[in-house]
Amino acid sequence: MTNLDAAAALHTRLAAAGREPSKVWAYSVYGLICAGLLAIALYQFGDITPRVLAAVAARQRIQPVAYLSIAWVVLGFALVVVRTVLWVAYRPAPAATLESAPRLTVIIPAYNEGAMVLQSIESVVRADYPRERLEILVIDDGSTDDTWTYVSRAAEHHPGLVTALRQERNQGKREALALGFARARGEILVTIDSDSVIERGALLALAGPFRDARVGAVAGKVMVYNRSRGLIPRMLHVRFILSFDIQRAAESVFRNVYCCPGALTALRADAVRSVLSRWRAQRFLGTNCTFGEDRAMTNYLLDSGYDALYQRTAVVHTVVPHAFEKLCKMFLRWDRSYVREELRFARIVWKRPWPTRILAAFDRFITNASYPISLSGLIVMPVVLERDPAIAGSMFIVMGALSLFNMLYYLRSERSLDFIYGVLYAYFYSFALFWIFPYALVTVRSRGWLTR
């Protein structure tokens, strides 16, 4: 069996594992989530909060910080309830049919990807889509390994379908995508990372939402390709499921997905061309923006009045780091672009339609307030522990209980014992990755890709 045949078998198995659960299973999960929300509310506000308030009662200087933290907990709980309601309400749009599918261009930028780029290309070639309305552009961004060999081989094997483009020197993913955008002939542009492979129905699924002229971007569902490689990929797989099937599903209901990922995203070609020059020349704090191009493009389209949706039925499997050092570098790059684009979205949100504006503003305020409030908690915690040392154990248990509660959302998507890795990830992030966002904040002007 060739590597490509093995990859195809893997994708088929993963796709089967990710089938929609039965209604009985789904409604059972919904019931458990409602019970969990009630239990969390009773424990948090009936036990933990009174103990914290009692511990700081005699410390007037830190009482405002404690009250602020409790207020954020209340609002954060409200946000969880709102997201849950939106998540339940979410439905993917119908896929395009073979007869109605628009002209579509798939753009795959690659740099030092080696043989993996061929698997990415072949997954697109095998996809269900009318060949006369599909083109695949693969851009080798000045690779120094054998990437061009695989890219040119794919173009030779699929003449008229795969076009190989090469930049003589590495100019970055944004420039490689810009070249693809300029050469594309499709009405819909689909970006796929060169370390990612799509499922057969992904392209038709992505094309479906564009029946609505207001849609400018559609995010696909990202799963982990190398999840059997070790503990970190297994934890990331659960994190990705929660990030896409819960968070982006909820955002899609109010038509404001904040980040349509480079691993798999569809874009309206006319909309992209209207913002292309600004996106390509984007600067932040006096430096050129070299990463976070996916979130930046999403923001430019939202700013132009287009909506961004999530399509759960469009699935891609992507390679993730399995070593701690590379994981940290990936998250650091993501968090730096997050800071930049959140500041931009704070201005864009007021241009969105009223329902979207209210929900998005509430969502981003509560989410981003968590960072300074978490830091301020370091002031309160020593006082609380001095007065009530046993609360440390309670909070440690609560962390695990909350992560188990979050796994109910995961079980709605996948009936798998892998949910245990989500619980491990909660502790792993809290003790090993907590420093990344503060460090990203103070080094936000850095331009390095880090993982290359």
**CATH number for the domain harbouring residue 319:** 3.90.550.10
Residue 179: is its pLDDT beyond 70?
A: yes
Distance CA 228, CA 421 (A): 12
128 and 140 share one domain? yes
- Mean pLDDT (whole number) for 103-110: 98
- The reply to whether 18 falls in a domain is no
User: Could you say which of 312, 335, 355 is where a domain stops?
Assistant: 355
Task: Give the C-alpha separation, 37 to 402, whole Å.
Answer: 10
Same domain (yes/no): 301, 415: no
| Whole-angstrom distance, CA of residue 14 vs CA of residue 123 | 14
CB 254 within 8 A of CB 307: no
Q: What pLDDT is recorded for position 451? A: 57
pLDDT tens string 210-233: 999 999 999 999 999 999 999 999
- Write the single-letter amino acid at 27: Y
pLDDT band at 67 (very low <50, low <70, confident <90, very high): confident
Q: State residue 20's pLDDT score.
A: 67
326 & 363 share domain:
no
Instruction: Give percent above pLDDT 90 in the chain.
Output: 75
Nearest 10 degrees: CA dihedral of 348, 174, 266, 425?
-80
Supply the pLDDT for residue 53.
82
**According to the model, what pLDDT value does residue 452 have?**
56
* pLDDT at residue 7 greater than cutoff 60: no
Going by pLDDT thresholds of 50, 70 and 90, the confidence category of residue 109 is very high
Of 355, 388, 411, the one marking the end of a domain is: 355
For the segment 331-357, the average pLDDT, to the nearest whole number, is: 96
Note whether 249 and 379 are same-domain residues: no
How does pLDDT run across 187-209, given as a tens digit for each residue?
A: 999 999 999 999 999 999 999 99
Among 315, 331, 355, residue at a domain's last position: 355
In 400-434, which positions are buried (b, 16+ CB within 10 angstroms) versus exposed (e)? eebbebbbbbbbbbbbeebbebbbebbebeeeebe
277: buried, middle or exposed (CB in 10 Å: 19+, 13-18, 0-12)?
A: exposed
Query: Which residue in the block uniquely carries the two structure tokens 């890709």?
Result: 449
Q: Are residues 383 and 411 in the same domain?
A: yes
Question: Residue 4 falls within a domain, yes or no?
Answer: no
Closest CA to 76 of 389, 431, 366: 366
Query: What is the Cα–Cα distance from 210 to 134, expressed in whole angstroms?
Result: 16
Q: Is residue 297 part of a domain?
A: yes
Q: What is the dihedral of CA 232, 234, 238, 244, to 10 degrees?
A: 80
Q: Please give the residue range of the domain that contains residue 281.
A: 104-355
Q: What letter does residue 256 receive in the DSSP assignment?
A: B
Whether 128 is in a domain gets the answer yes
CA 225/CA 58 separation, integer angstroms: 54
Exposure string of 307-321, with b = 16+ CB inside 10 Å and e = fewer, is bbbbbbbbbbbbbbb
Q: Output the pLDDT for position 176.
A: 97
In angstroms and rounded to an integer, the radius of gyration of the C-alpha atoms of the chain is 23
Question: Which is nearest to 189 in space by CA: 275, 94, 290, 305?
Answer: 275
Same domain for 323 and 383, yes or no, is no
Q: Which of 375, 352, 378 is nearest to 363 (CA)?
A: 352
Q: Residues of the chain with pLDDT > 70: what percent?
A: 92
Closest residue by Cα to residue 258 from 370, 361, 354: 361
Q: For residue 450, what pLDDT is reported?
A: 60
Asked whether residue 435 carries a pLDDT value surpassing 50, the answer given is yes
Question: 291-306 b/e with 16+ CB inside 10 Å = b?
Answer: bbbbbbbbbbbbbeeb
pLDDT above 80 (res 6): no
- Helix, strand, or coil here: 87? helix
Give the pLDDT mean for 378-405.
76
Same domain? For 284 and 157 the reply is: yes
For residue 342, give both structure tokens.
């959140």
82 and 230 co-located in one domain: no
- Nearest residue to 228 via CA among 218, 217, 239, 236: 236
Distance of CA 343 to the CA centre of its chain: 18
Domain count for the chain, please give it: 2
Confidence of residue 16 (pLDDT cuts 50, 70, 90): very low
Residue 72: the pLDDT is 87
Average pLDDT, the chain: 91
Q: What is the mean pLDDT of residues 242-260?
A: 97
Q: To the nearest 10°, the Cα dihedral for 320, 323, 324, 327?
A: -20
Q: Are 315 and 220 in contact (CB under 8 A)?
A: yes
395 and 302 part of one domain: no
Residue 138 lies in a domain: yes
Residue with the two structure tokens 């684009």: 341
User: Which of 262, 363, 244, 263 has the alpha carbon at shortest distance from 311?
Assistant: 244
Assess whether 207 and 122 both reside in one domain: yes
pLDDT at position 299 is 98
Q: Is residue 448 part of a domain?
A: no
Does the residue 96 lie in any domain? Answer: no
Question: Which two three-digit tokens encode residue 338?
Answer: 């997050």
Which region among 41-50, 147-156, 263-272, 351-360 has the lowest average model confidence (pLDDT)?
41-50
Residue of 203, 186, 137, 194 whose CA lies nearest to 166: 137
Same domain, 347 and 401: no
Does the residue 253 lie in any domain?
yes
* Whether residues 235 and 382 fall in one domain: no
Determine which of 31-35, 184-188, 358-362, 379-383 has the lowest per-residue pLDDT on average.
Answer: 379-383
Name the residue among 73, 51, 202 with its Cα closest to residue 126: 202
Q: What is the pLDDT of residue 22?
A: 83
Q: Check residue 28 and give its pLDDT.
A: 94
Task: Report DSSP letters for 167-196, one per residue.
Answer: ESS---HHHHHHHHHHH---SEEEEE-TTE
- Say if residue 357's pLDDT is above 80: yes
Residue 34 has pLDDT above 70, yes or no: yes
pLDDT at 393 over 60: yes
| Tokens linked to 304 | 């132009």
- On whether the CB atoms of residues 410 and 419 are closer than 8 A, the answer is yes
Eight-state DSSP code of residue 158: S
Instruction: Give the separation between CA 371 and CA 337, rounded to whole angstroms.
Output: 16
Separation of alpha carbons 33 and 45, rounded Å = 18
Residue 91 has pLDDT above 90, yes or no: yes
